[in-house]
Amino acid sequence: MRIQLTLWYTGILAFVLLIFSITTYYYLARATRQRTDDSLAETANSFISNFNAESTDEAQDNAANETARGFRSRDRQVIVYDARRQVVVASEKPENLGLENNWFASSELQPQLTALFASASRSGRAYGNLSLGGKTNIRVLAVAVPVGGQNYIFVFANSLRDQEQALEQAREAFYIAIPIALVIASLGGYFLARKSLAPVVVMGERAAQIGASNLDQRIPVPENNQELGRLAGIFNQLLARLDQSFAQQKRFMADASHELRTPVAVICGESEVTLSQEGRDPAELRESLAIVNDEGRRLTRMVEDLFTLARADAGEYPLVLADFYLDESVNECVRSVRSLATQKGLEVSYQPPAKEIPFRGDEALIQRMVLNLVYNAIKYTPAHGRVQVTVRQNQDKSEIVISDTGPGIPADAQAHVFERFYRVDKARSRDESLNGSGAGLGLPIAKWVAELHGGTIVLDKTNREGAAFVISLPSPK
């Protein structure tokens, strides 16, 4: 990325410099040419006025000779042509012109001169470039001067050598300055890219070191860099969430194995004792087997609950959606526990809503949720108590309230009852396992089912005598 940024930066700068130098060179060349032409015109004017001062009607050629002889220039030469385009006189050739003597007699130039004479005769004055030896090297100004009724042509020639040299120097300056500027700029660009990306490198290195064993570590948040600071912050939040869910998973695993150990230990202990004693009577054997069977069932339920929660966490629980009446479904649950409650000396009552409540959801799960709560109520309420199940329509939601006259839930435990494996009193929970494993998974499963259906489940804390759970489910539109 650093190299890419530097290359882009240098590329764009090179492009800008190129455009800049081409434009500059173009204007420089134009200004130089203009200057040469202006100064040629000045030379011509002063020569012609000198000539006019010298000339009399009879001796124009002489006047031309005189004026030409007096003409001195560092890099210019004037050649006077008469009406027949014969050279009358040429001023002394200056060293700087860089041409041979009588260069203007060269046959290579004749067609160029003829064209120049023609356009000067037509318009009085004409600028032109003359090429000798294949390259343009002379700038000329031809002026038609009327002499004794005839048109003489005065040609002022100026070497282009100085001009070429100036432009050549400008080109050279660009050839040298541009690469140097680019090298400096790319070094600077690389340095800047490196400096601004340095925090990313540090963040990357730190992130690479973070694994399952040290999820509590965080990525350094670069100061004075809002964008990267935000990125690091988001990364850290992600890490915090991962850390949390990882810790949760670990706790879940630890709790689950801990819970599974008890029934397995009981089964092994009971069967070992039974096997080690020979000649036990059938009643004793039956008793042992009943214990093993009980624990086996508990184990099965616990594994089922764990499996349900694991699938729920993975979002893989296979939902079976159907339309049914909520009140009817809850009533069925109440009916199914009635005999059990009677056995325990409890009274279970069901209070239906004013009107049937049509509902769409997974009926088996809804019943499992209600049963978990009803079984809890029965499990924790002592004999002669009451368990009341109410279904009611409350504005845009349906509520199922399960209340009992049991001991209720202590204030310090209220916040935790929906946590996995949480039990207020382990012995009591295990004691009479009516349903569920007694491992503290009944309420978490109920909560998951309620949330899965877009609802909530809360413990009614205003209830002072016994426990009351309120399930709220959205009414179908």
Cβ neighbours of residue 219 closer than 8 Å, sequence gap 6 or more = 203, 206, 207, 210, 232, 235, 236, 239
Residue number with CB closer to ligand ADP (120 or 334): 334
Q: Does 370 bind ligand ADP (CB under 6 A)?
A: no
Instruction: Tell the smallest beta-carbon distance from residue 436 to ligand ADP (Å).
Output: 4
Let me know: does 91 contact 154? Beta carbons within 8 Å.
no
Residue number with CB closer to ligand ADP (219 or 373): 373
**CB burial of residue 232 (10 Å; 0-12, 13-18, 19+):** buried
Q: Contacts with ligand ADP: how many residues (CB under 6 A)?
A: 22
d(CA 340, CA 80): 138
Q: How far is CA 354 from CA 332, 391, 393, 443, in A?
A: 17, 9, 8, 28
Among the listed ranges 11-19, 99-107, 331-339, 434-442, the one in contact with ligand ADP (CB under 6 A) is 434-442
Q: Does 424 bind ligand ADP (CB under 6 A)?
A: yes
Among the listed ranges 9-17, 112-120, 195-203, 435-443, the one in contact with ligand ADP (CB under 6 A) is 435-443
Q: Does 71 bind ligand ADP (CB under 6 A)?
A: no
Q: Does 299 bind ligand ADP (CB under 6 A)?
A: no
Tally of CB atoms within 10 A around 388: 18
d(CA 74, CA 98): 11
Among the listed ranges 109-117, 150-158, 322-330, 417-425, the one in contact with ligand ADP (CB under 6 A) is 417-425
Could you tell me the sign of the dihedral formed by the alpha carbons of 99, 104, 108, 111, in that order?
positive
Kindly tell me which residue out of 199, 263, 353, 438 binds ligand ADP, with binding defined by CB under 6 A: 438
Kindly tell me which residue out of 203, 299, 377, 471 binds ligand ADP, with binding defined by CB under 6 A: 377
Among the listed ranges 124-132, 149-157, 338-346, 438-446, the one in contact with ligand ADP (CB under 6 A) is 438-446
Q: Does 409 bind ligand ADP (CB under 6 A)?
A: yes
Kindly tell me which residue out of 425, 432, 451, 465 binds ligand ADP, with binding defined by CB under 6 A: 425
Kindly tell me which residue out of 2, 423, 447, 453 binds ligand ADP, with binding defined by CB under 6 A: 423
Cβ neighbours of residue 440 closer than 8 Å, sequence gap 6 or more = 419, 420, 421, 422, 423, 429
d(CA 413, CA 90): 122
d(CA 264, CA 271): 11
Q: Does 103 bind ligand ADP (CB under 6 A)?
A: no
Binding mask 309-348 for ligand ADP (x = CB under 6 A): ----------------------------------------
How many residues in the chain?
477
Q: Does 417 bind ligand ADP (CB under 6 A)?
A: yes
| First-residue to last-residue Cα distance in the chain | 54
Residue number with CB closer to ligand ADP (189 or 440): 440
Residue number with CB closer to ligand ADP (10 or 372): 372
Q: Does 467 bind ligand ADP (CB under 6 A)?
A: yes
Instruction: Tell the smallest beta-carbon distance from residue 295 to ligand ADP (Å).
Output: 15
Residue number with CB closer to ligand ADP (91 or 437): 437
Let me know: does 248 contact 231? Beta carbons within 8 Å.
no
Residue number with CB closer to ligand ADP (190 or 421): 421
Residue number with CB closer to ligand ADP (199 or 440): 440
Residue number with CB closer to ligand ADP (199 or 442): 442
Give residues in contact with ligand ADP (CB under 6 A). 372, 376-377, 380, 404, 406-407, 409, 417, 422-425, 429, 436, 438-443, 467
